[in-house]
Structure 1
Amino acid sequence: MSAEATPLSIHLADDAATALFGEDLLLALQIGDCVALYGDLGAGKSTLSRALIRALAGDPDLEVPSPTFTLVQSYDLKIPIAHFDLYRLSDESELDELGLEEALAEGICLIEWPSKAGRALPKNRIEIHLAFAPDGGRTLTIQAPEGRLSRLRRVIEIRRFLDGHGHKEAHRQHLTGDASNRAYEHVYPVDGSARLVLMDAPKRPNGPPIRDGKPYSQLVHLAEDVRPFVAIGQALRERGFAAPNVLAQDLDAGLLLLEDLGEDGVLDSEGRPIAERYRASAACLAAIHDKPFDREIVLPGGHRHRIPDFDRAAMKFEGELLLDWHLPWKRDGQLATVEERTRYLAIWDKLIDEISDADTSIVMRDFHSPNIIWREDRDGYDRVGLIDFQDAMIGPAAYDLVSLVQDARVTIERPLMDQLMADYLSLRAMGPDFDESRFLKSWAIMSAQRACKLNGLWVRLKDRDGKPGYMRHLPRTLWHLTVAFEHPVLAPLRNWCIEAGIELPESPA
């Protein structure tokens, strides 16, 4: 094996505990992981493997035959998995014929009797040694390179967190992850009570200093731990909005056990917007923007969270993603010239001056389809469940309306976009001192700012982070820029983009 960290040691009381660990182990694995299971007959290798495969399939009754005679059994699941039993392997060279390398390129491999493979196994494998314990249970010793072992430590830490808050033996299932360091799980209590959501968000590691001695996350005011999520959720609930209750927490570890608001969203089965749900979301957003929010929120225990300002520096720095990532991608690596950069930033200084008197409110930042839960059985604003608001700021209220009607991940056709705008504006107009023309100007500027950020972000995710899937949103967010440019205040930025060779499509297709 490659260089290892200090091994982990775990005690499992019986077959049920071994199967539960198999489910937990799945949550730590990624495509390319090879898990080598060592142990005598009856030590639990097959019990662990079957539980892991059934958890991945989402079927506790799935037939998982032993591959003793076939040597390998493959499962075409959301992550492909190959289950090897090498007990009958006569020579390690046979692994090539069994397709180990191909299986690892596409998914996960579980290998029983790995000692039969000699030196043919990957050096970066995860080794799990199962041994009988004196009390009749089992002892697991896990060895792996540090990167993989850290993932295992985390799932074990989460299991201890659940055990310590009254959810021993609860089943866990991966729910989702995003482009940040957050991940979510569904938690199913063994007593049959309501399903819960676990938020796994370890403290964000600071990246390299980029400007003024600060990393990107601090420059644009991204939450660095779970405390802002707890604080903003508290403030939303106090004002009558549906943010999930926090049922248990370890703020230092970045673990929250949350009320499950449900699985329904604002899209239909084919991923298209459901107009009624988007319109209700626009009405909810108007109500949020009509409520005052204190800049400082005090949490139980005394922690104070101050909501940061969406300030000039953050707006410009996000907008520079277009310069630093999109433009070089469009030009086959050619960077913006000094003159282009100077003009671009000067244009943004003037645009930000234009919104100095904009209508301001709390800005949740990503008020769009992935973060809106539809609760059909509720009434009023309670029908709209809110999540992923930890990066909230105080800034132009128009920004969140942009994120809703110009959803970054799903196309909102122009008629529905216009309807949502009309709904929101009519509701806000009922309040005092609302200036529609001033709001629409700030909406156009915030639309352009968000589109410039996203059109650079998709390229950065592809080129720097190895996540090319986000590029499918690029045609849509370029079209959003086109829509923003309909307002005359954006004419200088529109002209700059045309001169720089940035495409301005007439539709999101």
Structure 2
Amino acid sequence: MAAPMIPPASAPDFLAKHGWGGAEIRPLAGDASFRRYFRVHRGDETAVLMDAPPEHEDIGPFLRVAGHLLDRGFAPPRPLGIDREQGLLLLEDFGDARVGPYLQRDPAREGDIYRSAVAILARLGSQPAPTDIPPYDDAAMSREVQLFPEWYAPALGFSVDEEGYLAAWREAWADVLRVATNDPVLVLRDYHADNLMVRPGLTELGLLDFQDALAGHPAYDLVSLLQDARREVPQSLEEAMLSEYCSLAQVADPALFRAHYEVLGAQRNTKILGIFTRLWKRDAKPLYLSLQPRVWGYLERNLAHPALAPVRAWFDANVPADKRADAWREYP
């Protein structure tokens, strides 16, 4: 069950220690993890309080990646106060203009916003990953796609060939991992419209939710942005932004990069189907079921690429058509 949006008892003392004594604390948001967020008000000033219970969350990776990004001119929220023992962080407040809702209000800015987001990725991809970031390797990718047979298949009542499943994936992503191993870049891993912020008066987008970053392939964050589970990205925009990225990043072989993009898209979208099912079955968060058909749409497009022939063959043999996108229409 989701944690109630009540500030932890230690919050007032924490805020006082960092110069925000007596500030008002208002609920802001929870997410798919155990983290909760509150907005702290002191006169006209605001900050964001992150509550990451230490028994469930570790704020160390967030601080490590934020420091790396700040040092290189990117825009994560700056830490204003830290208590590692209690899992509390006071952060710079970027406001409420997440890119997703912002573009609902001002769709004419879609192209400009996505070009800005792609430019950030091109800059990230131009420099090596920090050495203290774990690799996005075969073990990590295998754990993630395993969420599909572990959660999705049982939820819809069918069994699958698990041994053949991982063999198919490993054949498909072998060349992706070669690039990720030889020239790794920082992969934020949840780079999409709801984790990007339009900041008043500033052109650089603010970055959120990067604590799970790994060292991997530059196409991963691009597919996360352009095949967004929470927001329908027009295929025409996806194609334009792929070309934009290849130009900005001076990609030597755009066709090979596209193949890697599709493989990573399939891997990510398969993982998401498992995660969203787990959120429903284990964590009593059925809201995510409504996003499954969109994710299936992306995955079906990914699987059409020749680089994914072994994975497509496995899906054709193991996942009936009526257990795919339309299967979720009957759930809340």
Higher strand share: 1
Aligned twin of 1:360: 184
Using structure 1 for the length normalisation, give the TM-score: 0.59
Cα distance change, pair 427–245 in 1 and its aligned pair in 2 (3 A): same
**Whole-Å separation in 2 of the counterparts to 1:463 and 1:249:** 34
Aligned twin of 2:196: 372
* Superposition deviation, residue 329 in structure 1: 2.6
* Superposition deviation, residue 204 in structure 1: 4.3
Aligned twin of 1:231: 64
Cα distance change, pair 465–271 in 1 and its aligned pair in 2 (3 A): farther
Q: Retained in 2: the 8 A contact 1:328–1:335?
A: yes
- 1:414 corresponds, among 207, 227, 235, to 235
Cα distance change, pair 394–29 in 1 and its aligned pair in 2 (3 A): closer
Aligned twin of 1:174: 27
**Whole-Å separation in 2 of the counterparts to 1:163 and 1:428:** 45
Aligned twin of 1:405: 226
Larger radius of gyration: 1
- 2:150 corresponds, among 324, 333, 342, to 324
* Superposition deviation, residue 279 in structure 1: 1.9
Aligned twin of 1:334: 158
- Tell me the secondary structure at the aligned position of residue 85 of structure 2: coil
**Whole-Å separation in 2 of the counterparts to 1:351 and 1:194:** 51
Give the alignment of 1:11-30 within 5 angstroms.
29=4
**Whole-Å separation in 1 of the counterparts to 2:142 and 2:303:** 18
Cα distance change, pair 239–502 in 1 and its aligned pair in 2 (3 A): farther
Give the alignment of 1:479-490 within 5 angstroms.
479-490=297-308
- Tell me the secondary structure at the aligned position of residue 10 of structure 2: helix
Higher helix share: 2
Aligned twin of 1:136: none
Amino acid across the alignment from 1:349: R
Q: Retained in 2: the 8 A contact 1:324–1:335?
A: no
Aligned twin of 2:48: 197
Cα distance change, pair 334–485 in 1 and its aligned pair in 2 (3 A): closer
**Whole-Å separation in 2 of the counterparts to 1:420 and 1:203:** 39
Instruction: Find out whether 1:288 has 2:141 as its counterpart.
Output: no
* Superposition deviation, residue 29 in structure 1: 4.6
**Whole-Å separation in 2 of the counterparts to 1:279 and 1:415:** 13
**Whole-Å separation in 1 of the counterparts to 2:114 and 2:184:** 22
Q: Retained in 2: the 8 A contact 1:271–1:410?
A: no
Amino acid across the alignment from 1:184: Y
Instruction: Find out whether 1:436 has 2:287 as its counterpart.
Output: no
- Tell me the secondary structure at the aligned position of residue 233 of structure 2: coil
Instruction: Find out whether 1:313 has 2:134 as its counterpart.
Output: no
Q: Retained in 2: the 8 A contact 1:266–1:278?
A: no
- Tell me the secondary structure at the aligned position of residue 156 of structure 1: coil
**Whole-Å separation in 2 of the counterparts to 1:195 and 1:263:** 12
**Whole-Å separation in 1 of the counterparts to 2:79 and 2:139:** 33
Using structure 2 for the length normalisation, give the TM-score: 0.89
Amino acid across the alignment from 1:474: Q
**Whole-Å separation in 2 of the counterparts to 1:367 and 1:245:** 18
